[in-house]
Structure 1
Amino acid sequence: MFAPSLAVSSMWVMHKTSETSFCLSCHTMQAPYEEYQGSAHFMNQKGIRAECHDCHIPQSGMDYLITKIRASKDIYHEFVTGKIDTPEKFEEHRLAMAQTVWDQLKANDSATCRSCHQFDAMDLQKQSADAQKMHALGIKEKQTCIDCHKGVAHFPPEITIDSKAHDALMEHARQTPADAKEVYPVAPAPLGNLGTVYPATKLAVVGKSGDAREVEITGSQMQGAEQVIYLSAGQRLVLATLTEEGQKAVKVSSDWEKDPYGNAWRSVSLRAPLAEPALGKPDEIWNYAKTLDQAYCSGCHAPISSEHYTLNAWPSVAKGMGARTDISAEDLDILTRWFQYHAKDIATRE
């Protein structure tokens, strides 16, 4: 009789400690609960509510037991170590706690999410255009729910970039040898009084102009927008913007030719002084961009390959996503350029 009674008691305890009311017995869970109350999992037009255990505890098997054992650490830190017993401490450890949950969901293929949501049960045609696109991508690349739906019921951790990373990038640029054959600006830089060149633009060093490098930029102009030098015909990656004087100094190397959309393009080059520091290779700019991607993009969803969109499509995609974060305009520009320079049509061309 003792063994069955113990088993029944254990199951009862397991059940009671999975209820939302039990979770809320720890005062540090009040903030996550308030976040959850503002989500579609708490209140929605269909009247279906997902409680704490629906999202955090697999329904059966070893995953259920392992999750219950792991959850005991929260009680330990709440009442014994005091590790998360204040709002400030909770925020300090929010990323680590979230990462633990993300890792678990990644390992079990988002088992708790899939107890309600299944790709094969989705009517994609009734979803928004963005949702259709991302779910189709998720199916194609065999992604799991948590890859894209971090922060679905709770505020995601704030992930920021240490300004020292950008400062280090500038310091490396200052150390570029004076005899470098080509350079890549780290930030928007004036080309004397001829215009402004933008990060990661390849500049051939052709001489010196006082204390500045004399550089040459090569690209394309579109008829009607001669104040801009683009990467090439039809590819709207802005290398530089020109003043009226800069437009007059441009050397034209081909006649106007129309693209399939009726826009006329011509090849051009421009020589100008560059006084600002610049790197001898773009690698460190791209490493910085990858750090930005991990902090501002991958914190919410799985990394999206730069080859997923074309060079011309990336700016609007990056701008839309960037608006949901606190990324600076300068960092968003660098990140966008990383995507553009490694885009689907660029990768194919190379």
Structure 2
Amino acid sequence: MKRIFISLFILATFLWAKNIAYSDEVISLYLNQNDTKVIGRLLPTNAFEILKDQNDKVYIKINGYLNPKSPSVIYFNNSQRIIVAAFSKNTKLNFSYIKKGKNGKWDQVSLKIWADKKDFAKDNKKMLKRAKELFTNNCGICHTLHSEKEFNANAWPSVFRSMVNRTGIDKKDQWLIIEYLQKNAKDFKTK
């Protein structure tokens, strides 16, 4: 009897476990499963939950924060411009509000949306390690390598973009490195 109970418990845990995934590349987002028009992009290293897997697309849930002044962007936390996903400005998105922001903090939201299916990872450790290696091996060629903690999270994207054309970093890896730098910045705040 005890074995049956344990087996049922393990099965229930498996069935109810969230299917959290990460990508090391930018992922195209769509309002509907059969759409071909891209309406947004999910940036690398950010967690999302796979709700449904259908052919070449997955139905996912993205959690993050929405600045009322930028309603087409989901951010990583409630006060910094670390982008999780960005959408076309005229796209009508159906956000589920988890918690309204107070005292200047942004609203915590959830969004269910379709995405291109890729080879997703179960965590972001390897991709962050690769981002660090790309940064270290390419961004100290012309000058002394900047420390990840040298700039704040909101400054890193423009600092990186001002110098990336002088490096050998592939365009497909640029957002991976920006996300790495922002999530290791001197003022980075976890959720």
2:9 corresponding residue in structure 1: none
1:327 corresponds to which letter in structure 2?
A: I
Q: Does structure 1 residue 322 correspond to structure 2 residue 167? A: no
Higher CA-based Rg: 1
Any idea what SS the aligned residue of 1:257 has?
Answer: coil
AA of the residue aligned to 2:114:
P
What's the counterpart of residue 141 of structure 2?
Answer: 299
Taking the TM superposition and a 5 Å limit, the aligned residue runs for 1:13-92 are none
Residues 245 and 217 from structure 1, CA distance in 2 versus in 1: closer, same or farther, beyond 3 angstroms?
farther
**Structure 2 counterpart of 1:189:** 27
Kept in 2, the 8 Å contact 1:180–1:280? The answer is no
Whole-angstrom distance in 2 between the partners of 1:181 and 1:245: 30
What is the rounded CA distance, in whole Å, between the counterparts of 1:239 and 1:266 in structure 2? 14
The equivalent residue for 1:237 is 82
Whole-Å separation in 1 of the counterparts to 2:26 and 2:190: 27
CA contact (8 A) 1:209 1:273 kept: no
- Deviation of the 1:258 alpha carbon: 4.7
Question: Equivalents in 2 of 1:349, 1:230: separation in Å?
Answer: 11
> How much does 1:315 deviate?
1.0
2:113 is matched with: 272
- Report the Cα distance in structure 1 between the residues aligned to 2:190 and 2:71, rounded to whole angstroms: 25
Can you list the C-alpha shifts for 1:56-86, whole angstroms capped at 9, x where unaligned? Answer: xxxxxxxxxxxxxxxxxxxxxxxxxxxxxxx
Q: CA deviation at 1:273?
A: 2.8
Distance 1:246 1:281 in 2: 30
Percent identity at matched positions? 23
Give the RMSD, CA atoms, in angstroms. Answer: 2.6
The partner residue of 1:336 within 144, 162, 178 is 178
CA distance in 2, matches of 1:273, 1:248: 12
Q: What is the Cα deviation at residue 236 of structure 1? A: 0.3
Aligned-partner residue type, residue 240 of structure 1: A
Query: Which structure has the higher relative contact order (CA within 8 Å, separation 6+)?
Result: 2
Question: What's the CA shift string for 1:7-41, capped at 9, x where partnerless?
Answer: xxxxxxxxxxxxxxxxxxxxxxxxxxxxxxxxxxx
Shift, 1:291, TM fit = 2.4
What is the CA distance between 1:251 and its match in structure 2? 1.0
Equivalent AA in structure 2 for residue 282 of structure 1: N
Q: Equivalents in 2 of 1:321, 1:218: separation in Å?
A: 31
Query: 2:79 & 2:134 partners in 1: Cα distance?
Result: 28
TM-score norm. by structure 1 comes to 0.42
Q: What count of residue pairs does the alignment treat as equivalent?
A: 166
Gaps of 5+ in 2: 1-16, 32-38
Q: CA deviation at 1:183?
A: 0.7
Q: Which amino acid aligns with 1:208?
A: K
More helix by share: 1
C-alpha separation in 1, matches of 2:149 and 2:18: 30
Contact 2:43–2:175, Cα closer than 8 Å, also in 1: no
Give a deviation string over 1:155-186, Cα, whole Å, max 9, x none.
xxxxxxxxxxxxxxxxxxxxxxxx97211122
How far apart are 1:228 and its partner, in Å? Answer: 0.7
Q: 1:300 to 1:243 in 2, by over 3 A?
A: closer
In structure 1, C-alpha distance between the alignment counterparts of 2:172 and 2:109, rounded to whole Å: 27
**CA gap 1:345/1:248 in 2 versus in 1, 3 angstroms:** same
Deviations 1:206-236 (A, max 9, x none): x214234332111111123111111122210
Give 1:192 shift. 2.7
Structure 2 counterpart of 1:208: 52
Q: Please give the per-residue CA displacement for 1:239-269, whole angstroms capped at 9, x wherever unaligned.
A: 111246864311122335353xxxx621111
Is the strand fraction higher in 1 or 2? 2
Work out whether residues 149 and 184 of structure 2, in 8 Å CA contact, stay in contact via their aligned partners in 1: yes
